[in-house]
A and B are shown apart, each in its own frame.
Chain A
Amino acid sequence: MRKLLTLLLTLAAATAAQAHAFLDHADPRVGSTGPAPGHVELWMTEELEPAFTQVKVYDAQDHQVDRKDAKISGSTMTVSLPALTPGTYKVKWSAVAVDTHHTNGTFTFTVQ
């Protein structure tokens, strides 16, 4: 019984690091190339906790370039951008869904 309990707990511990709020899609699209966007918007698969959710945009030198005005509403997160120069930008997001689970991820987009 003790061995079974240990096995079950280990199984849970090994899997709980998986994501719960997944990135459904984003604008600009993940890995896309196009004109400079005015903002980045992410649609997640679950409702989000605004107090623990954030999104930031970085340039190739890892400098934060967004306007630091991220808005979280329902299952979406948005942050506005200044006029971006051509180059590749990285979006880093960190989310806590209302089912309390923490997830994070990154993706890039390129401005022509």
Chain B
Amino acid sequence: MIVLLVLARTLHIGSALLLTSLLFFRLVVLREGRTEPEKAGWPIAFNRQLQRGLGGLFLLHLLSGAAWFWAVTAGMNDSSLREALDPAQLGTVLLQTQFGWLWSWRAGLALVFGALLLTGSAARGRSAGSWLALGVSGLLLGSLTWAGHAAAGTEHRIAHLGIDLAHLAIAAIWPMGLPPLALFLRAVARAGPAGPEVMPILQRFSRLSLACVILLLATGIANALFFFPSWSALVTSTYGRLLLGKVALFLVMVGLGAFNRFSFLPALMGDPASPALVRLQRAVLLESAIGLVVISIVGMMGATSPPVPGS
């Protein structure tokens, strides 16, 4: 049951982050519709991949959400996964718990998002539908805060929820903006020599990343202050060790990002079609892979008890 819970949490949080990051990347980083990408030659393949990605991620989000609900039903009833399929058990969790209320509300959001996806509104230029899709995916992501430890505290709950929410939203821009950036770079590299129109996009992403790193650090430290009664709890508790692992990987990603920024971007400024573009794509892919490991640690942290106060 716990393995299902950790897997479902990881996939659900990861898919919510990526859904938001793909839409954010297209609308804010790429500024599709403003840069007239058709003239640039590269974006047709990118847009096709992006739309496929949105569909696949949404399906994964629905399935992992159902699996998470199933595992939680088993956990709350202290029953096996098979027993937790009993409609009475599922109904009690759905109708009589905060988690059930949250999942009902999120199912409504998922319906809206599905409709925007099916009608094509979610991926249509810079239309109202695509901004609405970004907003709904952001709500699907942000509402996950109420399924975590922050929602259960008895002190400073609003502040803790707000910080957790900000941490998740920022993570959707960076590092979860890295997979769409890797897709974008691949599409550009495959479309032939890159033109100068690529540079403002990379610079925009670079500036956003720097801001996100600072904000992630600030919200991450604030979040940890709620959970850790002492510095020693960082190493004596499993929750603390998972957090240290997450921070270590975060620092590796920041280091890689800085290396990319200072070694590849100057080369591309001189010649956007230089081989540095392919090298940057590979480096971003590596960073993306580390980011996915970080998400799996987040999934485990949600299923692990924070340190006991006073211990």
Are chains A and B native binding partners rather than an unrelated pairing?
A: yes
Asked if B300 is at the interface of the complex by the 8 Å CB criterion, the answer is yes
B33 CB to closest chain A CB (Å) equals: 38
Asked if A45 is at the interface of the complex by the 8 Å CB criterion, the answer is yes
B293 CB contacts on chain A under 8 angstroms: 4
A97 CB contacts on chain B under 8 angstroms: 152
**Beyond A12-B2, A101-B305, is A21–B152 a contact (Cβ under 8 Å)?**
yes
**Interface residue range, chain A:** 20 to 34
A67–B165 CA distance with the chains assembled, in angstroms: 42
Tell whether, in the assembled complex, residue B76 and residue A96 are in contact, meaning their CB atoms are under 8 Å apart.
yes
Q: Which residues, 1 to 33 on A, are CB-close (under 8 Å) to B? A: 4-5, 8-9, 11-16, 18-22
B308 CB contacts on chain A under 8 angstroms: 19, 22
Asked if B99 is at the interface of the complex by the 8 Å CB criterion, the answer is yes
**Beyond A8-B300, A12-B2, A16-B304, is A102–B75 a contact (Cβ under 8 Å)?**
yes
Asked if A87 is at the interface of the complex by the 8 Å CB criterion, the answer is no
B9 to chain A: closest residue by CB:
A12
Asked if B97 is at the interface of the complex by the 8 Å CB criterion, the answer is yes
A11–B303 CA distance with the chains assembled, in angstroms: 11
Tell whether, in the assembled complex, residue A9 and residue B3 are in contact, meaning their CB atoms are under 8 Å apart.
yes
Tell whether, in the assembled complex, residue B3 and residue A101 are in contact, meaning their CB atoms are under 8 Å apart.
no
Asked if A41 is at the interface of the complex by the 8 Å CB criterion, the answer is no
Tell whether, in the assembled complex, residue A20 and residue B154 are in contact, meaning their CB atoms are under 8 Å apart.
no
A50 CB contacts on chain B under 8 angstroms: 96
Asked if B148 is at the interface of the complex by the 8 Å CB criterion, the answer is yes
Tell whether, in the assembled complex, residue B297 and residue A8 are in contact, meaning their CB atoms are under 8 Å apart.
yes
Tell whether, in the assembled complex, residue B152 and residue A20 are in contact, meaning their CB atoms are under 8 Å apart.
yes
Of the candidates A14, A21, A100, the one whose C-beta lies within 8 Å of that of B75 is A100
A20 CB contacts on chain B under 8 angstroms: 149, 152, 305
Tell whether, in the assembled complex, residue B296 and residue A8 are in contact, meaning their CB atoms are under 8 Å apart.
yes
B154 to chain A: closest residue by CB:
A75
Asked if B62 is at the interface of the complex by the 8 Å CB criterion, the answer is no
Asked if A74 is at the interface of the complex by the 8 Å CB criterion, the answer is yes
A82 CB to closest chain B CB (Å) equals: 29
A13 CB contacts on chain B under 8 angstroms: 2-3, 6
A10 to chain B: closest residue by CB:
B3
A51 CB contacts on chain B under 8 angstroms: 92, 96-97
**Beyond A99-B148, A99-B149, A102-B78, is A49–B3 a contact (Cβ under 8 Å)?**
no
A35–B305 CA distance with the chains assembled, in angstroms: 36
Known: A11-B242, A47-B154, A99-B149. 5 other contacts (CB 8 A): A8-B300, A16-B5, A16-B303, A18-B238, A47-B152
8 smallest CB-CB distances across A and B, nearest first, come from A18-B305, A99-B152, A51-B96, A46-B152, A12-B300, A15-B238, A98-B98, A13-B2
17 A-B contacts (beta carbon < 8 Å): A4-B293, A8-B296, A12-B3, A13-B6, A16-B2, A16-B305, A22-B309, A45-B154, A46-B154, A47-B151, A52-B77, A96-B76, A98-B98, A98-B151, A99-B151, A100-B75, A100-B99
